[in-house]
Amino acid sequence: MKTYEEIKEETRKTLEGKDEKYKRRYLKLCKSLRIIISEKFLWSISIITCLIIPSIFHFIGYFKLSLIDLLFFLLLHMLYWIFKGSKDTKKLMDESSPEIEMMIQAVNEIIDESK
C-alpha cells in the first residue's frame, strides 16, 4: 500500500498545470470510485447481471424461463454472495478504500493550495 506522501505526489503530477474545473472533476471521480467500491454497489451489479443474462437467453429463444427458474438463479446468487462474493468484496474494499480516501484528501489539499 502506498503512503500518503506518495499518493499526494502522484496526484500533484497528474493535476499539474490543470485548471480548477479539471481538478474539481478529478475530485468527483475519486469520490465516485469510493461509491463504486462498496459492498452494496457490487452486490447490486452482480444481482442485475444474474437476472439479465438468463433473460437475454430467454428473449433470443435459447431456453424458456419460468418464475421458479428465476428464483433458482436468485437463490444461487445469494448462496454465492454469502459464501464467496462477500469475502472477496471485503478484501477489495480493505485494499482500496484507504488509498482512495488518501487520494481524496490529497486532491482536496491540492485544490486548497492552488486557491
Query: What's residue 42's pLDDT?
Result: 85
| Among 9-23, 35-49, 99-113, the least confident range | 35-49
Q: What integer is the mean pLDDT of 30-51?
A: 86
22-31, 34-43, 53-62, 73-82 — most confident range:
22-31
Phi-psi region at 17: left, alpha or beta (left = phi > 0; alpha = psi -120 to 50): left
C-alpha cell at 97: 478504500
Confidence band of 44 (pLDDT split at 50, 70, 90): confident
Where are the chain's structural domains? 18-114
Q: Let me know: does 100 contact 1? Beta carbons within 8 Å.
A: no
Q: Which percentage of the chain shows pLDDT scores above 90?
A: 32
Interatomic CA distance for residues 41 and 96, integer angstroms: 15
Helix (H) or strand (E) holding 55, with range, is helix 39-59
